[in-house]
Structure formats: C-alpha cells, structure tokens
Amino acid sequence: MKILNLNEGSFPIEMNLNLNSIDIPDIGTLKDTLDVELKISKLSLNLFKCDGYIYAKFIDTCQNCLRDTEVLVDGSVDITIKDIKELHLDSSEQDQTHYQDLEYFNIDNLIEEELALIYPDIVKCDRSCLEKEDALMDEKNLPFKKIRDLID
C-alpha cells in the first residue's frame, strides 16, 4: 500500500509502478504485471489533476463459451482528485472525480478504481464468439423449415 500526503510536498508527482497483484473483485487474474504511469499535479488548495495510463494483461473467462481468454487492458487516466470532505458539497458535476483523504492518499485505491472502470464489461474470446452462437440458435429454432420450404 502506497500512501501519499497530497497536502505537503512538491508537485508534480510522477510515478512509474509495476504491480504484481491487484485486489479487485469480478475481474480476471493478472497474467504478468500491471504497469501504471501517473502524474499528479496540484491545481489549487484541494484540487488535483491525475494523468497517465494503465496497461495489463488478464486471464478471464469468455462469457459465451467459458474458455480462458486473454484480456488486454490499455487505457488512459485523466481524472480530478478532491478531498473526501467535499464529496457532498461538490456541485461541479464532473464525471471523472476521485474522492479520497488527501492527507493519507492511497495510490492503490486510485489504481483499483481506474482499472475497474477501464476493464471491459463483456469478455469474449474473439469478436464473433457471440455472433456464431446466435447463428446456431436461429437454425435450431426452425424445426419445420424444410416442410415450409416444400410447401412454398
């Protein structure tokens, strides 16, 4: 667990992290390392900007055929960081805002939240996995097709 005090220190803070494990429920198993590059800049007293990227390969189960599938997560991070005390007072309506205690800022929580947002909702082994199965289902649902073809 990496803890920073964002109320003190010099900015920007730049981090290159290689994590061997991640604790997020309902996503696949990390295949190699999770590579994270982050840059935290201070905009005002309790307002920070975090830019960077997350790159990792996971092994997950195809939701259609249940085979193990490699999932590539390669996404950018572009969020605003605010103190948790401002959560209910904030009226800025920004979509990408991460709230946390700035004095005991946990980098792992930020990474886990961003990874959960970037991870795909539907995991399938290839682009046509679901389409192939749909075509088979259409054929199975027409048991009297040959008789209808003969009548027509």
Each of the 152 residues of the chain gets a pLDDT tens digit; together they read 688 888 888 889 999 999 998 888 888 889 989 999 999 999 988 889 999 999 999 999 988 888 899 999 999 999 999 988 877 766 666 668 888 999 999 999 999 999 988 999 888 887 677 565 444 445 556 667 777 777 76
Domain membership flag for residue 65: yes
Q: Work out how many domains the chain is built from and give that number.
A: 1
Instruction: Provide the H-helix boundaries in 1-121.
Output: 107-118
Q: How far apart are CA 70 and CA 86, in angstroms?
A: 39
3-state secondary structure of 10: coil
Quote the pLDDT of residue 139. 55
Q: Per the domain annotation, does 73 fall within a domain?
A: yes
Report the pLDDT value the prediction gives residue 95, as an integer from 0 to 100.
Answer: 67
pLDDT at 50: 94
Is residue 152 assigned to a domain? no
pTM: 0.75
Buried b (16+ CB within 10 A) or exposed e, 66-82: eeebebebebebebbbb
Query: How far is residue 9 CA from its own chain's centroid?
Result: 29
- Judge whether 70 lies within some domain: yes
**Whether 64 contacts 34, CB under 8 Å:** no
Q: Answer whether residue 136 is part of any domain.
A: no
- Please report whether residue 77 resides in a domain: yes
Residue 150 domain-assigned? no
Q: Which pLDDT score, from 0 to 100, does residue 38 have? A: 94
Residue 92 falls within a domain, yes or no? yes
Task: Note the pLDDT of residue 135.
Answer: 47
Q: What domain range includes position 98?
A: 3-126
Q: What are the tokens at 54?
A: 């997350």
For residue 90, the model assigns a pLDDT of 63
In this prediction, residue 41 carries a pLDDT of 93
43 CB-contact burial (10 Å; exposed 0-12 / middle 13-18 / buried 19+)? exposed
CA–CA separation, 90 and 86 (whole Å): 6
